[in-house]
Amino acid sequence: MLDDFFMRAMLAGLGIAAVAGPLGSFVVWRRMAYFGDATAHAAMLGVAVSLAFQISIYAGTTLVAAAMAVTISGLVTRGQSMDTMLGVLSHSALAIGLVAISFVPQARSDLSAYLFGDILAVGRGDLALIWAGAAGVLALLAWRWQRLLTASLNEELAMAAGIDPRVERLVLSIALAVVVALSIRVVGSLLISAMLIVPAAAARGLSRSPERMVGNAVLIAALAVMGGLTASLYLDTPAGPSIITAAAAFFAFSQVFRRA
């Protein structure tokens, strides 16, 4: 079964969907969309670093994305004007990453694979890493679920209950960095935050509790992966963008059937 590139692509996409549902919900709840963008764009710089130092793409992107996420998280705590700051960091990271990659000769030709993903080229090793990483992030989120949820709802209420919101923010930053690294082969740097936000945003209108929203977001992300990949096979469209297009269609659909 794993010999088939299409089946491997499908399984990789579903692994990302499983973790994008809960993490994407936090991104929506905490209004971290731009934060997600900046972290995902930093992954391009991570790719350049990985190629230059000849380390694993996953390790390099995780490190650089984590550095970016923790930096932004620190700025949030110090109450800087975030909108402009995130815009600056996000696009600078992308631009610097693209410039840096141009110095690595063998990478210039695969630029679009990193920008938009190359899910059909996912190998067994990638697949194992994606599922192991996704399982790790899911376990982390499950372990701290009540604390993360309370801190996302209201930081004062969280502090009164002995929860340190900075710790929970750090947990989400690390989880985000790992998911960004896992997703770079699947949807690419430019569309990772879409993979997080669009299914969760679609699930918001259909859900009355945080847990339902997470469940619906996973379901929608999984259907988007299956629909998008299948469409890309028959219509010969790029896989990553097709998945996001399918997710966007679910979002449009969900707006018509909003419940809460």
Judged by the rule CB under 8 A, the positions of this chain that interact with other proteins are 28-29, 31, 79, 146-147, 149-150, 152-154, 156-161, 163, 204, 207-210, 212-213, 260
Query: Is the CB of 31 or the CB of 124 nearer to other proteins?
Result: 31
User: How many Cβ atoms from other residues are within 10 Å of residue 50's Cβ?
Assistant: 23
Alpha carbons 195 and 145: distance in angstroms, whole number: 21
According to DSSP, residue 259 is labeled: -
Spatial distance between the Cα atoms of 112 and 129, rounded to a whole number of angstroms:
22
**Least distance from C-beta 85 to other proteins, angstroms?**
17
Give the C-alpha separation, 18 to 98, whole Å: 29
Smallest distance, other proteins to C-beta of residue 253, A: 18
Shortest CB 215 distance to other proteins, Å: 12
| Separation between Cα atoms, residue 130 and residue 133, nearest integer Å | 5
Smallest gap, in angstroms, from Cβ of residue 201 to other proteins?
Answer: 9
Smaller CB separation from other proteins, 45 or 175: 175
Shortest Cβ 148–other proteins spacing (Å): 9
* Closest to other proteins by CB, 160 or 252: 160
Give 41 or 147: the residue with its C-beta nearer to other proteins. Answer: 147
Q: At what angle do helices 124-143 and 165-183 cross, to 10 degrees?
A: 160
Residues 6+ apart with CB under 8 A from 175: 23, 137, 140, 141
* Shorter beta-carbon distance to other proteins: residue 4 or 156: 156
Nearest-approach distance from CB 204 to other proteins, in angstroms: 7
Among residues 144 and 231, whose Cβ is nearest to other proteins?
144
Distance CA 125, CA 259 (A): 41
79-88 long-range Cβ contacts below 8 angstroms, 24+ apart: 82/34, 83/34, 86/34, 86/35, 86/37, 86/38, 87/34
Give the C-alpha separation, 134 to 179, whole Å. Answer: 7
Query: Closest distance between other proteins and the C-beta of residue 247, in Å?
Result: 17
Tokens of 2: 């794993």
Token look-up 């700025």 returns 75
Residue 179 C-beta: closest distance to other proteins, Å = 19
Name the residue nearer to other proteins (CB basis): 52 or 144: 144
The DSSP letter of residue 119 is G
C-beta closer to other proteins: residue 16 or 27: 27
